[in-house]
Structure 1
């Protein structure tokens, strides 16, 4: 039986190239494509894919928060995270949210196929480079944990949404909190990261693989 796969990627040309790659595989059927996180949740409810390949920087609702919600509404769906970067913070966030696989976009060939087949069977799959990053983070070999205060899970969500252009009101609606609470999180993020503007936050997010420039 073919693996029913849904692609969630906002860059159309990259999504089309992935579809061409995947449709060459006899055991994989691409059953849908979406370009933002809210559309993804609606589509999963309708078509119930086996696997979702998801960009962590989706607009509307980022891939990490979308993964959390998918684990609640469709726990049988397996998720592979896609990103242009290998920053440990976002890899670990995606895995903690419920993804079983993580592949960087520049490895999205054979490695992606391996990841899809592994997660379909309920196995975890990380590319060698990603696995090394995770090991470094867990062992704290790079010492960065002491150098920079970690953001809470909620602060990370707010950071991603702010740098994707959402207002406090829009963020509040997506996270089911008040705009005043969003503003508190924004101030805490800036204090922890020693940043002073949305432009600074955006540069930080680009550097750490949350959004692309």
Structure 2
């Protein structure tokens, strides 16, 4: 077994640190380490890899869009996201976009090896701390769903469209209802979910698994 690894992280010290950590393990070869995600396409075309360790907070990076693009253009390359964050929304967004794993940057050598070997074998791997957080988020999500003020089918539909950045006018046209009806539903959704604005609605849509 030989795992060809690529690393893309905005901080050079992290890429070098990972490569040094893996150096004693001959079955893993670090074939490149980049600090700018915009160089990824050209580098992956030149030097194919089995796994790409991807910093999820590189400057000017759309995480979901980048993962989808890489999975489309380089289907043999499996992506493992790296982050200092344990935000459930980010984890779900990245995994839905096609990533095969999610690691915290506080990972140790044992965890990194386990992740790379599992992903290489076609499995998914999520850091144990992140798994625990996701289970807690799922528990809280189920508690929210048990509340009396759950959304109606129409409100859920409108929430999904808001999360997809449709304007109120576009939603009205798509659902064949009046603009006033959409605004009324939007107001009711905000009240039920106890959020303050569209950003809060979008975050709640991710929590509910609508997008």
TM-score surpassing 0.5? yes
User: Post-superposition shift, 1:128?
Assistant: 1.1
In structure 2, how many angstroms separate the alpha carbons of the residues matched to 1:153 and 1:24?
Answer: 46
Going from structure 1 to structure 2, the CA distance change for 1:92 and 1:108 (only over 3 Å counts) comes to farther
Q: SS at 1:107's partner residue?
A: coil
The offset of 1:67, in angstroms, is 1.1
Q: Which whole-Å CA distance do the structure 2 matches of 1:30 and 1:101 have between them? A: 18
Report the aligned-residue RMSD: 2.7
Determine if the alignment matches structure 1 residue 152 to structure 2 residue 158: no
Greater C-alpha Rg: 2
> Secondary structure of 2:131's match?
helix
SS at match of 1:112: helix
Q: Would the alpha carbon gap of residues 137 and 122 (structure 1) be closer, same or farther in structure 2, given more than 3 Å must change?
A: same
Q: 1:84 corresponds to which residue?
A: 84
Equivalence for 1:20: 20
- Where does residue 8 of structure 2 map in the other structure? 8
**Contact 1:37-1:63 within 8 A present in 2 as well:** no
Runs of 5+ in structure 1 lacking a partner? 156-189, 195-213
State the distance in 2 between where 1:92 and 1:193 align.
17
In the TM superposition, residue 71 of structure 1 has moved relative to its aligned partner by 0.8
Count of matched residue pairs: 159
| Correspondence for 1:193 | 199
C-alpha deviation, 1:137, in angstroms? 3.0
Match of 1:206 in 2: none
Q: What's the CA shift for 1:127?
A: 1.4
What TM-score does the superposition give when structure 2 sets the normalisation length? 0.66
SS in 2 for 1:79: strand
Structure 2: tracts of 5 or more residues without a match: 151-158, 167-195, 201-211
Equivalent residues of 1:55, 1:63 under 8 A apart:
no
Q: Is contact 1:81-1:101 (8 Å) kept?
A: yes
